[in-house]
Amino acid sequence: MATKATRQGNGHSRQRAASTKAKATSKAKPRRGSNSGTARKTSAAARKTSGAARKTGAAARKTGGAARKTADAVKKQAPKPNKVAGKLARKAIKRVATKALDASAEMIRNAADRAAATGSEVVDEAVAKPARRRLPIQRAVDVAVPIRVAWEEWMALECLPEGTHVVTDIDRDGDELVGRTDGLRETDWAADVLDERDQQSFAWQSREGSDCAGLVTFHRLSDRLTRIELNLDVVPTTLGEAAQLATRIADRRAETELRKLKARLELINPDLYEDEPDATEEGGEEPAEPEADDNEDNEDEPGEDE
């Protein structure tokens, strides 16, 4: 029994020694599977680290998204660079346009002044040349009325032809005449009566509104036929008047006015003037009365027969 117990104790001892030896050996020589465990631990740690990195990247992305959102909000609130540039460009264009307009206006004013000066010189030259070589306007018309009727119609002064225009609304005060010139630009007109001879001639010289000297004469051709002659010496005061004189428009206009006068005169009923005595007959010498014979008119003196 003791031997058996001893053997059992020895067996237990040997087992403990073997386990001790195995533990020592395991400590001295690590097992083959220990490396894989370490690798697994390392990979797990790496996975944890990569997970943390992913989380950090996600957080960074979130932060970047928030930053982008903040930047977009700032861009929306702040004026866009294009709008600011457009405003600045418009302001610059407006300043440039204003300066250009001012410069253009100044150039136009200078050009207008030069044109006005040149135009006045041209007008003066155009007016002076015809004035040096102009001919008077001479027109005549024969009217089938007595000279007295023609004279009275003219002296009613309904109008006075001056070639380049016609004077209307004429009022007479002694030797002064006032009226208005017709046309697009009506102007006041005034003239002086230079000469007036009954049933012979009428002369005037304008001093305002025009520069014209006129003379109309009346010539008796027969008892009921009169010739009216109109002579006008017109000095043009504008370029238009110079053009009318150069193209003979003024001559035709004067002739037209004489024809209008002829039409008015010949439409008068002859019964209104044919019974009236003519001025030439009135102005003639009255026929002398026959002298009575002294022998017939004087009575015999009572003492002669005795």
- CATH code at 158? 3.30.530.20
| Domain match, 87 and 159 both | no
Q: Is residue 28 part of a domain?
A: no
Is residue 201 within 8 Å of 134, Cβ to Cβ? no
| Domain match, 148 and 218 both | yes
Mean pLDDT, 10 residues at a time, over the chain (306 residues)?
Answer: 51 62 52 57 71 72 72 62 71 79 79 72 56 75 95 93 90 94 86 95 94 95 95 90 89 94 92 66 46 48 45
Q: Is residue 291 part of a domain?
A: no
Residue 285: the pLDDT is 45
Residue 9: the pLDDT is 55
Is residue 186 within 8 Å of 230, Cβ to Cβ? no
Residue 156: the pLDDT is 93
Q: Is residue 104 part of a domain?
A: yes
| Domain match, 85 and 195 both | no
Q: Is residue 7 part of a domain?
A: no
Residue 69: the pLDDT is 75
| Residue corresponding to tokens 């004189």 | 245
Residue 11: the pLDDT is 57
Number of domains in the chain: 2
Burial of 237 from C-beta contacts in 10 A (0-12 / 13-18 / 19+)? middle
In order, the DSSP letters of 257-302 are: HHHHHHHHHHTS-GGGTTTSPPHHHHHSPPPPPPPPPHHHHSPPPH
| Domain match, 124 and 150 both | no
| Domain match, 207 and 263 both | yes
| Domain match, 260 and 205 both | yes
Q: Is residue 243 part of a domain?
A: yes
| Domain match, 178 and 88 both | no
| Domain match, 177 and 250 both | yes
Residue 287: the pLDDT is 42
| Domain match, 177 and 214 both | yes
| Domain match, 150 and 276 both | yes
Q: In a 3-state reduction of DSSP, which class is residue 129?
A: helix
Burial of 233 from C-beta contacts in 10 A (0-12 / 13-18 / 19+)? middle
Distances (CA, A) of 162 to 59, 208, 279: 106, 13, 29
Rounded CA separation 4/12 (Å): 12
In order, the DSSP letters of 17-77 are: HHHHHHHHHHHHS--TTHHHHHHHHHHHHHHHHHHHHHHHHHHHHHHHHHHHHHHHHHHHH
Burial of 278 from C-beta contacts in 10 A (0-12 / 13-18 / 19+)? middle
Of 133, 167, 188, which one is at a domain's C-terminal end? 133
| Domain match, 165 and 142 both | yes
For the whole model, what pTM was predicted? 0.49
| Domain match, 116 and 184 both | no
Of 133, 152, 184, which one is at a domain's C-terminal end? 133
Q: Is residue 168 part of a domain?
A: yes
Q: Is residue 20 part of a domain?
A: no
Question: What tokens were used for 145?
Answer: 């009325």
Name the residue range of residue 68's domain: 57-133
Of 104, 133, 162, which one is at a domain's C-terminal end? 133
Q: Is residue 158 part of a domain?
A: yes
